[in-house]
Amino acid sequence: MEENILSALPGVLLPWYRENRRELPWRRDREPYHVWLSEIMLQQTRVEAVKGYYTRFLEALPTIEDLANCDDDTLHKLWEGLGYYSRVRNLKKAANQIMKRHGGRFPDTYEEVRALSGIGDYTAGAICSICFDYPTPAVDGNVLRVISRLTEDATPIDLPARKKEVSQLLAAVYPAEAGDFTQALMELGATLCGPNWKPRCQECPCAQFCGGAIHGAAEQFPVKLPKKGKKEEDRTVFILSCDGKYALQKRPNKGLLAGLWQFPNVSGKLDTPKALAAVEELGLRPRDILRIVERKHIFTHIRWEMRGIYLEVAECAGDFTWMTAEEIEASAALPTAFRQFWEETDHV
């Protein structure tokens, strides 16, 4: 049954895609570096948000060699705001692998692409189909949602076995225009058959053979496993200022937000007396508490409940790097968890 439904997809999706596809910067060519970069950026991030990052990144690093030679601070600054900084570090690592293993030329076999750092089945499938027209499906949440609605399959889509099964089923029906077919599936899942609104079945080219549309049950799919609760942590963040400069420090090179800049912070939500004592323990002399704000940040597995304390100190001392607002904006990549406090300082 699934095979019959999926075999009908190329015939309706290809003409629909060519007529209705969005004009996006990374669709202007099939250069593997460009497709690879866009796919990594688009993970967990909206298309509209990625457009500016994509253009800015390629202006700064137009070639794989440029990416391989980029220093980490510059790289993190180009990625600032996208989150998941391990992805951009893997981009650079893979760029170095391409330079060493392939003489700077992006590999053109699925096995070689899949072997690059940070590239999994989905990204390898996307690159190889879009750039080389190989029948290698790129199965992500969008595609799984579309297939679940088409086939009314209630198997949880977050089961690895289901993802593998859908990949195999799609590979069997891939047309010669593999790149367009991959992007057509992505486009359908991102526009008409999206995750957070009522599916627009009346506009969908697949409505005539989609089980979910025919039975009015599309919104019941996909099915997911119950979410696990996130671990919660309280943190106090110090936004320390002195003579127009702010205290920053680098996070460790391993672990959460590895190697990025942060404001000094400690575990727990400290009250005013304890906060002042903590600042003194950092080797500083606090003057005035300017204000206190409460914020939160949600990571994949952890939720931070954060208290930001804006504090003026007597001198630029302690084991910190003191930067002006201009220096921070130019060169210090602040992850979103800390940047939300920076955006509320007087420099804005």
232 catalytic residue (yes or no): no
Tally helices (H) and strands (E) across the chain.
16, 7
Asked if omega into 199 is within 30° of 0 (cis), the reply is no
Rounded Cα distance between 55 and 68, Å, is 18
Given the residues 31, 39, 48, 59, the one annotated as active site: 39
Rounded Cα distance between 153 and 148, Å, is 5
Amino acid at 223: V
Question: b/e map of 6-20 (b: 16 or more CB within 10 Å)?
Answer: beebbebbbebbeee
C-beta neighbour count of 197 within 10 angstroms: 9
Whether 138 and 95 have beta carbons less than 8 Å apart is answered as no
Nearest to 53 by CA among 30, 31, 82: 82
- Active site positions, annotated: 39
